[in-house]
Amino acid sequence: MAAEALKSDFGGKAHIALNDPKLRANFRRAMDGLMTKRAAQFADADEWNALRARGAAVRARALAQLPELLERLEARCQANGIQVHWAETTAEANAIVLGILQAAGAKRVIKGKSMVTEEMHLNAHLEAHGIAAVESDLGEYIIQLAGEAPSHIVMPCIHKNKVEIAELFADKIEGQAYTENVDELTAAARKALRGRFADADAGISGVNFAVAETGTLVLIENEGNGRLSTTLPPLHIAVTGIEKVLEKLEDVPPLLSLLPRSATGQPITTYVNMITSPRKAGEKDGPKAVHLVLLDNGRSRVYGDSELSDTLRCIRCAACMNHCPVYTRVGGHTYTFTYPGPIGKILTPQLEGLDCAGDQPHASTLCRACADVCPVQIPIPDLLVRLRTEAVHPSATAGVKGGGSAQSLSESLGWRGYTAMYGSPLIYRVVTRLMGLFGNWVPASAPMLKQWTSVRTKPKFAAKSLHQLAREKGFSHD
């Protein structure tokens, strides 16, 4: 799979994005709008604090009991008639989905928006086996037509403006004239996709919350494509990460009050779709078979470290990226992998490995904007720092994939020298004197130094150190 060859190149891609004025303008406009709408929703600080404390506790409680709740979810789903599958890797999950579709003779699939299926690169896998999967969320449909990946986890085509979308539709949708009218563009997508819904042999969706108590899959959305994908075709396959489980149905309301308000500044999404079983005898619609695929893909390894496992509390609202001074300037594609922004910077290195995404925890100023807006209080900046450490000094217990991959002999020697210098007055004096004499002769492009000077001016060494000057003035150090 293409996914396995991916390696993060944050610096290189950020440079390109920062010099793309159209991209910068598209993100700036969208992010400003989302931040303003979210702020209006949480104007009452007391309400916000009480609600997010509850939301964080609900998620933490679910994670503290994760294995038991997954077993309960599986048992309840099976009792309700939903078939449950477990996949350790994305390859296994792809094979399970393909197997279900092939067993049902399904050739045409309609998809509701799902980041986990993006993580799996499911569409490419199905296409390679002769099954056409059509994205039906408007944003996902647009980027599928363009042959691109989502640049935001809630608003996948946020990097495109309406002129680009108008050109794309005129080019790709048969009989579609060029128009920048958003209502007409939306109507064109409705018309193009109606038939795809009706023809589909199966619908594939994600899951926002999976309730262990009742075996209920909760899906939220505004367009109705999620409901159509999970209602009209005879077969529904829901795919989710193992961390999305909740203990009780009563845990849904506080999270439902946090998620859409944090994501898009809406009090609630148009549809909250709660699926508990396939079509029962006598019912006239709904899929006759419902499958739930539980994907691990590294999450159980993340779970093994009690600090890093806070990453798994995430409810995918995207508020962290909307408020991130880095993400809002470089956009989602700069992050290479499925999950961009602050949550991506802690999740991707853990799922994919610090050896292929180790630069991401460094793409942050640690300003804490993400932690301030996180509805489930994930300490993202602390975890960024922790991952930076894991890349150099891997802890035995965490076992972060690719831990220690940033170790370098020269850096380690450099720090050892630094420690020795500051531990001995004599060495300190000798080194500072040498720097004063020869430091300005060392070129900015010298090995080790160039990583610092590539984006900064090389400091100028004074001929005399502060200690020297002080001694000359007659100050004594005792």
Residues in 331-370 at the binding interface with other proteins, rule: CB under 8 A? none
Tell me how far, at minimum, the Cβ of 31 lies from other proteins, in Å: 10
Stretch of 231-239, 360-368, 378-386, 443-451 contacting other proteins, by CB under 8 A: 231-239
Sort 263 into a burial class: Cβ within 10 Å, 0-12 / 13-18 / 19+: buried
Binding residues among 142-171 for other proteins as defined by CB under 8 A = 142, 155-157, 161-162, 165
Q: Any idea how long the chain is?
A: 478
Q: Name 407's Cβ contacts closer than 8 Å, sequence gap at least 6.
A: 391, 392
Binding residues among 70-89 for other proteins as defined by CB under 8 A = 70-71, 86-88
What six digits make up the tokens of 318?
């995207």
Which DSSP symbol is given to 143?
H
Return the residue of 151, 216, 311, 338 that touches other proteins, per CB under 8 A. 216
Which DSSP symbol is given to 233?
S
Q: CA 95, CA 118: separation in Å to the nearest integer?
A: 15
- 253 near other proteins (CB under 8 A): yes
- 64 near other proteins (CB under 8 A): yes
Tell me how far, at minimum, the Cβ of 469 lies from other proteins, in Å: 54
Q: CA 433, CA 327: separation in Å to the nearest integer?
A: 43
- 183 near other proteins (CB under 8 A): yes
Return the residue of 9, 250, 372, 411 that touches other proteins, per CB under 8 A. 250
Q: Name 106's Cβ contacts closer than 8 Å, sequence gap at least 6.
A: 131, 201, 202, 235
Q: Under a CB-based contact definition with an 8 Å cutoff, are residues 83 and 291 in contact?
A: yes
Binding residues among 407-466 for other proteins as defined by CB under 8 A = none
Tell me how far, at minimum, the Cβ of 134 lies from other proteins, in Å: 12
Q: Nearest to residue 297, comparing CAs of 247, 343, 357, 347?
A: 347
Residues 263-302, one symbol each (x = binds other proteins by CB under 8 A, - = not), give -x--xxxxxxxxxxxxxx-xxxxx-------x-x---xx-
Return the residue of 27, 42, 209, 303 that touches other proteins, per CB under 8 A. 303
Q: Nearest to residue 179, comparing CAs of 158, 157, 162, 160?
A: 162
Tell me how far, at minimum, the Cβ of 196 lies from other proteins, in Å: 11
Provide the phi-psi class of 106: left if phi over 0, else alpha when psi is between -120 and 50, else beta.
Answer: beta
268 vs 413, which CB is nearer to other proteins? 268
- 139 near other proteins (CB under 8 A): yes
Tell me how far, at minimum, the Cβ of 139 lies from other proteins, in Å: 4
Tell me how far, at minimum, the Cβ of 152 lies from other proteins, in Å: 10
